Amino acid sequence: MCGILGILGQSNSAASAYRGLFTLQHRGQDAAGIVTWDEQESRFHIKKGLGLVSQIFDENVINSTPGRMSLGHTRYPTSGANQLSNVQPLMCSRPHGLALAFNGNLVNYLDLRRRVRCKGQFLFTENDAEVMLAQISLFMEEEAFAFDFEKKLSHSIKSLMQIAKGGYAGLLQIAGKGIAAFRDPWGIRPLLWGEKTLASGEKEYLFSSESSTLKFLGFKNIKDVSPGEMIYVGLDGTFHSEILVSRNHHFCMFEWVYFSNPDGILENVDIYQARTRLGEALAKTVAPYIKSGELRPDCVVPVPDSGRIAAQSMAEALGLPLREALIKNRYIQRSFIMDGQDKREKAISHKLRPVEGQIKGKNLLLVDDSIVRGSTSKRMVTMLRECGANSVTLVSSCPPITHPCTFGIDFPTKDELIAGDRDNDGITKLIGADKVIYLPLIELYMALGKTNLCTGCLTGKYPLNCDEASEFAEWRNEQKEQKLENNMPIRE
Ligand code: SF4
């Protein structure tokens, strides 16, 4: 999962891209990059590095990247090692000078890689963004004699959508021309856009993975890029939008449950309100246990920060006090999106500190947004017990995650999921809780108010055929082993 943005308008677009990337930092903390197109010098400027946005860029860096259009990227690697060569935006020089910022995952990465190599294109990384960029450049070359640039572009992106299987959103910057924004035909990964009218009367456009970026930078008329749609905005004022490929829409439910900023809106659903409804649905799920006397909770404890909204509405609906018994150290990175179990475990114990006075002798309802690997949950339950909790019931506002995600969220194998092959008793025992309660799937649909969701990781039923995903997972493991043998950097 990554964050992407693209801006076309004022001369200092990199400054807006830099500010905007802070609103996407939670989507990837391993690396970030900005590329601008400088019309004066007819060249790209690119700055990228490993680490947080604040560690990579400063005012001097931004002032040395002039240009009216920019792409920005925050990276969480689901494909390719965490090294500088994989940091986006990626660039290539054929046929126009292209830069790509990409979010998601290609299920048929290996097939696309083979196709690209067959056409004589050399690849430098194991990054699916590079394969996508190479494929676009090949399609654009095939269209080299097309007279109309927009047609050539839309034919190329359409050809890509016809062969690329997966959940993805892309922003393509074309040297001297403009930015093309496109989203997978199933609409799995998010991409939004908005506009602003400049003092000159010209329009400025912004594309981003989240509506928060658009609101933060003062853009209006915020809309989703539709599934299978390409929107092209040009430096010459061109605006072109077209649905290139149409499939059944299946938006990732995890964006509302966990990933996106709570101040945003996705697919016309307010994320804060959706999480509030998830909490109310949890209250409905937990209430019978309280009524029967099986549970006698003293208070509700949210897991900061992503479990807080559901915990609050659940506590209100149950008439229980909400107690912040786990305090988060804000200077430790988000543990789910760290690469590697070891890093995650360390981050959890540093990240959350217990408030003993709110825990000792109490029966606690601990509310988290989801339980993925169970490492965070186990550590938190242990911490609460060490502080003298009488009982700990763990409540998840997401149903059990039983299957891998092959569309860009980093739980690629069933083995690493706590609910992958365990029943509720097995999960409860491993976590060390007194009880674990999950939100039922039907309640998730009702709380989000949508039926056209991707729930592949909850049901094993994906919106598209994912047979090639296992070949990709095997290949990835082989790569990992080879790198270990050669002592090269890998991501877990
Ligand atoms: S499988 Fe799960 S995490 Fe992946 S896109 Fe679908 S709903 Fe989202």
The answer as to whether 278 is a domain residue is yes
How many domains are there within the chain? 2
User: Per mean pLDDT, which of 57-66, 140-149, 181-190, 332-341 is the most reliable?
Assistant: 181-190
Per DSSP, the three-state class of 379 is: helix
Instruction: Give dist(CA 166, CA 408) in Å, integer.
Output: 8
**pLDDT over 80 at 330, yes or no:** no
**Residue 422 confidence (pLDDT):** 96
**pLDDT cut 90: percent of the chain above it:** 76
The question of whether 398 is a catalytic residue gets the answer no
Instruction: Give dist(CA 270, CA 277) in Å, integer.
Output: 11
φ/ψ of 96, rounded to 5, equals -120, -15
**pLDDT over 80 at 336, yes or no:** no
The answer as to whether 417 is a domain residue is yes
Ligand 1, from 189, 401, 410, 455: best to mutate by most atoms within 8 Å of Cβ?
455
The answer as to whether 155 is a domain residue is yes
Same domain, 285 and 229: no
Domain closes at, from 250, 285, 304: 250
Same domain, 228 and 372: no
What is the band of 492 on the pLDDT scale with cuts at 50, 70, 90?
Answer: very low
Domain closes at, from 250, 281, 298: 250
Ligand 1, from 106, 188, 450: best to mutate by most atoms within 8 Å of Cβ?
188
The answer as to whether 461 is a domain residue is no
**pLDDT cut 70: percent of the chain above it:** 92
Residue 296 domain boundaries:
270-452
Q: What is the CATH number of the domain that holds 397?
A: 3.40.50.2020
**Residue 484 confidence (pLDDT):** 54
Instruction: Give dist(CA 250, CA 185) in Å, integer.
Output: 9
What is the band of 345 on the pLDDT scale with cuts at 50, 70, 90?
Answer: low
| Nearest by Cα to 188 from 453, 461, 492 | 453
First to last CA, the chain: 15
> Whose CA is closest to atom 4 on ligand 1?
405
Same domain, 283 and 207: no
What is the band of 474 on the pLDDT scale with cuts at 50, 70, 90?
Answer: confident
Q: Which atom of ligand 1 is nearest to the CA of 252?
A: 8
CA of 188 to the centre of ligand 1 (A): 8
How many other C-beta atoms are found inside a 10 Å radius of the C-beta of residue 161?
A: 23
**pLDDT over 70 at 74, yes or no:** yes
> pLDDT tens for residues 104-141?
999 999 999 999 999 988 888 888 899 999 999 999 98
| Nearest by Cα to 57 from 26, 89, 88, 14 | 14
Residue with tokens 């509405």, as numbered in its chain: 313
Bridge partners, 241 (sequence order): 231
Same domain, 9 and 127: yes
pTM of the model: 0.92
> pLDDT tens for residues 381-438?
999 999 999 999 999 999 999 999 989 887 768 888 999 999 999 999 999 999 999 9
Instruction: Give dist(CA 24, CA 33) in Å, integer.
Output: 12
**pLDDT over 50 at 257, yes or no:** yes
The answer as to whether 466 is a domain residue is no
Residue with tokens 């021309």, as numbered in its chain: 177
**Residue 190 confidence (pLDDT):** 97
CA of 401 to the centre of ligand 1 (A): 10
Choosing from 2, 398, 405, 457, the catalytic residue is 2
The answer as to whether 469 is a domain residue is no
Per DSSP, the three-state class of 201 is: coil
Per DSSP, the three-state class of 291 is: helix
Same domain, 199 and 168: yes
Q: What is the CATH number of the domain that holds 62?
A: 3.60.20.10
Orientation of helix 271-291 relative to helix 308-318, angle to 10°: 40
Strand 453-454, strand 251-252: pairing: parallel
On the 0-12 / 13-18 / 19+ scale of CB atoms within 10 A, 122 is exposed
Same domain, 207 and 301: no
Question: Is the minimum distance from the CB of 455 to ligand 1 under 6 angstroms?
Answer: yes
Instruction: Give dist(CA 47, CA 51) in Å, integer.
Output: 13
Same domain, 282 and 211: no
The answer as to whether 387 is a domain residue is yes
Same domain, 282 and 244: no
**pLDDT over 60 at 334, yes or no:** no
Same domain, 180 and 280: no
**426-434 long-range contacts, Cβ below 8 Å, gap at least 24?**
427/371, 427/374, 427/400, 430/374, 430/378, 431/371, 431/374, 431/377, 431/378, 431/381, 431/394, 432/378, 432/381, 432/382, 432/385, 433/366, 433/377, 433/381, 433/392, 433/393, 433/394, 434/391, 434/392, 434/393
Question: Is the minimum distance from the CB of 306 to ligand 1 under 6 angstroms?
Answer: no
For residues 366-388, give the mean pLDDT. 95
The answer as to whether 283 is a domain residue is yes
For residues 166-195, give the mean pLDDT. 97
Same domain, 230 and 341: no
Specify the higher pLDDT residue, 24 or 10.
24
**pLDDT over 70 at 80, yes or no:** no
Average predicted confidence (pLDDT) for the chain: 91
Same domain, 215 and 276: no
Same domain, 323 and 431: yes
